[in-house]
A and B are shown apart, each in its own frame.
Chain A
Amino acid sequence: MIRIEPEPWAAMVAHARASYPNECCGAMLGAAEGDTKTVRQAIALENAFEGAQAARYELRPEDLLAADKAARERHMNLIGIYHSHPDCDAYFSATDLRNSCPWYSFVVLSIQKGEFHHANCFLPNVDQTEAPKEELIY
């Protein structure tokens, strides 16, 4: 289960709305106790995908490295990644799965006509063959 506190959740939604009609992406920092995770801070990262970003995103590894350093400095953990799906549902696409990493929770925000609609969270497996849903509370 992953719970996102109000402040980072508001930041994630604002980031997704501001990036519409393109996809946004970012990192989620917080605490993890076994299978229970709490997001306390969201860090907006640049969508580095070269090409149309309406249905694609890419994170720079250097940006993730910096996010992990920021988490350690703040005595938090890097526990997840978020991105938006403009004008479509918050599913985990084949592209999401093929380019995922099993170490983190993946929150997908559906933005419909520029407004937040719904969100889901997924946990990809190590072989990148499936990504079951993780309970998401926001």
Chain B
Amino acid sequence: MAKILIPTPLRQFTAKRDSVNVPGATVGEVLAALTTEFPDLRKQIFNDEGKLRSFVNVYLNDEDIRYLGKDATPAADSDTVSLVPSIAGGAAN
């Protein structure tokens, strides 16, 4: 049961819990279990095609899973999964 840290604004979809323990052998399975348990989270994390939204990065402990094994990255009970947004911008259009 890996632990997923829930960003503050998403806790309205997880009964106000700031972290959730869900089963799964890989990060992909952990995220699937999370959105199965809390279906309202799905739209926030995944697009209509079931892919991670462009602004969502997933970290296993302190590592971006894009540089590990992506969805297939193994997740152990001692691991912590974080959802971290990509944010940029500026006055220029």
For chain A, the bracket of interface size reads 35 or more
A-contact bits for B47-63, CB 8 A (1 contact / 0 none): 00000010101010010
Which residues of chain B come closer than 8 Å to A88, judged between CB atoms?
Answer: 91
Contact assessment for A79 and B90 in the assembled complex, using a CB-CB cutoff below 8 Å: no
Contact assessment for B88 and A68 in the assembled complex, using a CB-CB cutoff below 8 Å: no
Contact assessment for B44 and A64 in the assembled complex, using a CB-CB cutoff below 8 Å: no
Q: A65-B59, A68-B5, A68-B82 are in contact. Are A101 and B90 (CB under 8 A)?
A: no
B7 interfacial by beta-carbon distance below 8 Å? yes
Give the docked Cα–Cα distance between A77 and B84 (Å): 14
Chain B contact residues: over half helix, strand or loop, or mixed? mixed
Contact assessment for B90 and A95 in the assembled complex, using a CB-CB cutoff below 8 Å: yes
Which residues of chain A come closer than 8 Å to B57, judged between CB atoms?
Answer: 61
CB-defined A-B contacts under 8 Å, sample of 24: A55-B91, A61-B59, A61-B64, A64-B87, A68-B7, A72-B5, A72-B18, A77-B8, A78-B7, A78-B8, A86-B91, A88-B91, A93-B91, A99-B86, A100-B89, A101-B55, A102-B9, A103-B7, A103-B8, A103-B10, A103-B85, A104-B9, A126-B44, A128-B55
